[in-house]
Chains A and B, each alone.
Chain A
């Protein structure tokens, strides 16, 4: 029935390409937009275009940026001697939310994956090594995920950095704070036991 409405079908198809949006949700959103006033729809369309036109990646750390440098790299208050390495911009935002860190970042845009053939050349690793030699970096804090891919990436970067005489640290991991041991999954407990430390 909707096949005779090419404009509607087109919007529906575009919406369903978005992550987490299935066919039903796409239809619901399309109906919603159909009932929205023209001003709001124009604002949405312009916001989408502006995102594509104005937002790119910081030329130094590869976080998202409007302009050459991201807000963190442009901030003179941030400590440039420490670089925190993350897989994705979202991970950077998670660390920023913690307010536990005032150094700089480097976003890799992915992780090494032996099984998918994603190697060092597919990530921003050469750019990282260049920063380490050019900027006087003293410590690298590796904050890649604690998955097999994230760990592979961490090991690889640690190896390269140590060759350059830079101090390398890794985010601690294990039992989440404020949680009861009995509710933690066995994998996390197994890793926490293996990674126990002097007390």
Chain B
């Protein structure tokens, strides 16, 4: 107990009340990936945690080793509560979807610094009035890419030829985009423009959200592509997705 607590920057993904006054907190940390922490008496001592044990809060946490892999959280210094999210139900719900995706897709304790800075930028963008459709497309695309599930976009997943028709098809189960000859009717139709936009987007630093302009078609088709990819890798359907659909 004598050693000084460790210090880690993290975003709160979820909090669960535990007994009368304690809380279990799921964190996405800057350098250690997904971690869970136990915040003793958190509900009686807002001051100690800077009011910072709520989802979407970015803070510096001081912690000690606890039981098993559970950190024992000592206190927190608030960096950003992203309170702007609370002005709009769609942005708030989408932020919820973002953190649930991260929770479902990342392995506990596996460092994902790129995902961390991307998620921070995603929350900051939404909290300052960013476009929800753009935020969702960028988040999904980059998560899929960072975790190594990006489908083939600029050439056919089977014959590897570069496309020269405007109309192509997409099927996650067969690796991504397909030329019409290879597709033979499987998957769904998309435009080459959408595949190109997604590929170009991946060339931009993944913590940049502002300044993107996508056409209606790209947003619509991009959403369809990413939903199919995510369905193939998620262990279950995100609960927040059902919530988003109800808005």
Give chain A's interface residues, CB within 8 Å of chain B: 19-20, 22, 112-121, 147-148, 151-152, 155-156, 159, 183-188, 190-191, 194
Whether A115 touches B81, Cβ cut-off 8 Å, given contacts A20-B19, A148-B55, A185-B49, is: no
> Does A19 contact B20, Cβ atoms closer than 8 Å?
yes
Shortest Cβ distance from residue A19 to the other chain B in the assembled complex, whole angstroms: 7
B223 near A: Cβ within 8 Å?
no
Distance to closest chain B CB from A101 (angstroms): 23
* Contact assessment for A185 and B51 in the assembled complex, using a CB-CB cutoff below 8 Å: yes
**Is B86 positioned at the interface, with any CB of A under 8 Å from its CB?**
yes
Contact A156 B239, CB 8 Å, known A148-B54, A186-B51: no
B222 touches A (CB below 8 Å):
no
| Beyond A115-B100, A185-B50, A187-B54, 13 additional pairs, beta carbon < 8 A | A113-B243, A114-B97, A114-B240, A115-B240, A148-B92, A155-B89, A155-B92, A159-B89, A183-B47, A186-B50, A186-B52, A186-B77, A187-B57
Given contacts A114-B243, A116-B239, A119-B242, contact A188 B46 (CB under 8 A): yes
User: Closest CB-CB distance, B87 to chain A, in whole Å?
Assistant: 8
Please indicate which of the listed interface residues B56, B81, B84, B99 has the most CB atoms of chain A within 10 Å of its own CB: B81
Partner of A119, one of B51, B57, B77, B243: B243
In this complex, what residue of A is CB-closest to B242?
A117
List of B residues within 8 angstroms of A185 by Cβ:
46-47, 49-52, 78
The answer, yes or no, to whether B14 is at the interface (CB within 8 Å) is: yes
- For B7-46 the 0/1 string (1 means CB < 8 A from A) is 0000000100001100000000000000000000000001
Is B246 among interface residues, defined by CB-CB distance under 8 A? yes
By beta carbon, the residue of chain B nearest A150 is B86
Contact present for A115 and B92 (CB under 8 Å): no
Offer 6 A-B interface pairs, CB within 8 angstroms, sorted by A: A19-B20, A22-B19, A148-B86, A152-B93, A186-B77, A190-B80
User: Chain B: interface residue count, which band?
Assistant: 35 or more
B53, closest chain A residue (CB): A187
| CB-based contact B54/A147 at 8 Å | yes
Complex contacts, B176 vs chain A, CB 8 Å: none
CA A50 to CA B65, docked complex, whole Å: 48
A156 to B80, CA, bound (A): 24
Q: Known: A20-B20, A148-B92, A194-B84. Contact between A187 and B78, CB under 8 A?
A: yes
Q: Are A187 and B52 in contact (CB under 8 A)?
A: yes
B56: chain A residues at CB < 8 Å are 148
Q: Is B83 part of the binding interface, using a Cβ–Cβ cutoff of 8 Å?
A: yes
User: SS class of chain B's interface: helix, strand, loop or mixed?
Assistant: mixed
Provide the bound-state CA to CA distance between A185 and B247, in Å. Answer: 33
CA distance A113 to B238 in the complex (A): 12
- Select the residue from A115, A119, A156, A159 with max chain B CB neighbours within 10 A: A115
Please indicate the chain B residues that have their CB under 8 angstroms from the CB of A183 in the complex. 47
* Contact flag A194-B96 (CB < 8 Å), given A117-B240, A155-B88, A186-B77: no
Closest Cβ neighbor of A152 among chain B residues: B92
Contacts of A191 in B (CB 8 A): 81, 83
Q: Across the interface, which residues of B come within 8 angstroms of A147, CB to CB?
A: 54
Q: Are A114 and B46 in contact (CB under 8 A)?
A: no
Bound Cα distance from A19 to B246, whole angstroms: 33
Residues of A with C-beta under 8 A to B121? none
> What's the nearest-Cβ distance from chain B to residue A134, in Å?
24
Q: Which residues of B contact A151 (CB under 8 A)?
A: 86, 92
Whether B244 sits at the interface, judged by CB under 8 Å, is yes
Shortest CB–CB separation between residue B56 and chain A, in angstroms? Answer: 7
* Cβ distance A152 to chain B, nearest Cβ, rounded Å: 5
Q: Say whether B47 contacts A117, CB under 8 Å.
A: no
Count chain B CB atoms within 10 A of each CB in A116, A152, A155, A187 and give the residue with the most: A187
A156, B50: Cβ atoms under 8 Å?
no
